Structure 1
Amino acid sequence: MTSSETRRITDLGTLKAISHPLRMRLYRALFVARTATASQLAEQVDEAVSLVSYHLRKLAAGGLVEEAEPQSADGRERWWQPSSYGFSIHEEDLKDAPELAAASAAFGRTVTEQRAALHARFLDERLTWSEEWRSASISSEWLPRLTAGELAALGRELEAVIRKYDEAARAAEAAGDTEGRENVALHVHGFPYRP
């Protein structure tokens, strides 16, 4: 990753680019892999290399991914990496922009569907994981009564804690500590609702 910052998406083109279901899957796979070729990503998402290359170029045009240093001697391979630690969409960027609001809603639905599918896959496959991993997995729901300010503060604190663990894990892995490490999906939602 070039930047350790989170990229803030404020334009319609980039938001539409990442809202595409395959592009979101590719972005997630690339984020986990850190660097990969279109061929490697095509295997993971079970799509043609040419289609994956096309969608990677669309993500690159939106500034979400970029070319990475080659990881092999084969000069024909084009390596990719995320251009930042992640990205965010802020509500204040959507007001007075109905097209952005609609694209943000489409993006949210895509992400929600993919997250639900990822969790359902874990539930279906949970017995293939060790007892240690099954016990460590988290599935909780809390229903606190908060103000908008408290919810925003809670979100910032959760993000800081998650980033701390992720950065420590990446540093440990870079130092060779790979024993027992697995990719972990952590989905936290916080939104108001009325019963």
Structure 2
Amino acid sequence: MADEPAAPSSDPHGPDPRITDLDALKVFTHPLRIRIYRALYTSREATASRLADQVDEAVSLVSYHLRKLAAHGFIVEAPGHGGDGRERWWQLSSDRGFTFRNADFDDRPEGAAVVSQVTRQLLATRNERYEQYLDEQAAWSREWTSAAFSSEYMPRLTAAELQEMADEMSALMRRWTERGRAAEEAGDIEGREHVAVQMYGFPYRD
């Protein structure tokens, strides 16, 4: 997820889908939907019962929120799963996640409020994930704890330069994401783990 949309693309390798519909963005005002979406991003394909185990919630509740995500095109049924049809398999409609931009919603009070609410929910879940890593740091090898990083930089930029930097960072992360995915598809999974990279860029005054 990023902060830039349009309904998600049906092409999983296409450009980042950008949310411009306010009702679609409202889907992510619920924190459990963010957790379910992230769990599905990690597992690639999953049923409601598998996702319920990951987010530690009732299957019926997860199924309800999956339907909400599907109604706005964020997830679709995963192809290639037969069986008796009693439980659907789901996947993201785009493996690039989604983006949204403040500028698409800040012309109306409700839009600005929803953007703020979703952004705060995303921030809370990101902080939760990093705090979990800090709590479990001793369980990771020195190789991983040495590679993990947390940095803050404070350049003095124009708004246009900040946008240029954001575009460069986005392109960099896409390259690394695609590199990891290509290796995984080739069966090169030895030593690979899911990695969260969280970045923020915003103006401030002393």
Pairwise TM-score range, normalised by the shorter structure: over 0.9
Whether contact under 8 Å (1:30, 1:82) holds in the other structure is: yes
Q: Counterpart in 2 of 1:82? A: 92
Whether contact under 8 Å (2:78, 2:91) holds in the other structure is: yes
Q: Counterpart in 2 of 1:174? A: 185
- 2:166 is paired with a residue of what secondary structure? helix
Cα deviation, residue 76, structure 1: 2.1
Q: Counterpart in 2 of 1:96? A: 107
Identity %: 54
Q: Counterpart in 2 of 1:32? A: 42
- 1:80 is paired with a residue of what secondary structure? strand
In structure 1, distance between residues paired with 2:113 and 2:28: 13
- 2:197 is paired with a residue of what secondary structure? coil
Structure 2: runs of 5 or more not aligned: 1-9
Does residue 63 of the first structure (1) align with residue 73 of the second (2)? yes
In structure 2, distance between residues paired with 1:73 and 1:177: 29
Does residue 15 of the first structure (1) align with residue 10 of the second (2)? no
In structure 1, distance between residues paired with 2:137 and 2:91: 30
Structure 1: runs of 5 or more not aligned: none
Whether contact under 8 Å (1:11, 1:100) holds in the other structure is: no
Whether contact under 8 Å (2:16, 2:99) holds in the other structure is: yes
In structure 2, distance between residues paired with 1:162 and 1:103: 27
TM-score normalised according to structure 2 size: 0.91
Greater mean deviation of Cα atoms: 69-78 or 35-44 = 69-78
TM-score normalised according to structure 1 size: 0.96
In structure 1, distance between residues paired with 2:90 and 2:11: 11
Does residue 129 of the first structure (1) align with residue 145 of the second (2)? no
Whether contact under 8 Å (1:18, 1:107) holds in the other structure is: yes
Query: Could you tell me which of 118, 121, 126 is aligned with 1:115?
Result: 126
In structure 2, distance between residues paired with 1:57 and 1:181: 32
In structure 1, distance between residues paired with 2:163 and 2:66: 33
Cα deviation, residue 138, structure 1: 1.1
- 1:192 is paired with a residue of what secondary structure? coil
Whether contact under 8 Å (1:70, 1:79) holds in the other structure is: no
Whether contact under 8 Å (2:102, 2:115) holds in the other structure is: no
Q: Deviations over 1:113-151 (max 9, x none)?
A: 111110001001001000000001010011111110110
Q: Counterpart in 1 of 2:3? A: none
Q: Deviations over 1:84-132 (max 9, x none)?
A: 1211111220231221111010001101111111000100100100000
Cα deviation, residue 3, structure 1: 2.4
- 1:152 is paired with a residue of what secondary structure? helix
Whether contact under 8 Å (1:70, 1:78) holds in the other structure is: no
Displacement over 6 Å in runs of 4+: none
Calculate the aligned-residue CA RMSD, in Å.
1.3
Whether contact under 8 Å (2:22, 2:105) holds in the other structure is: no
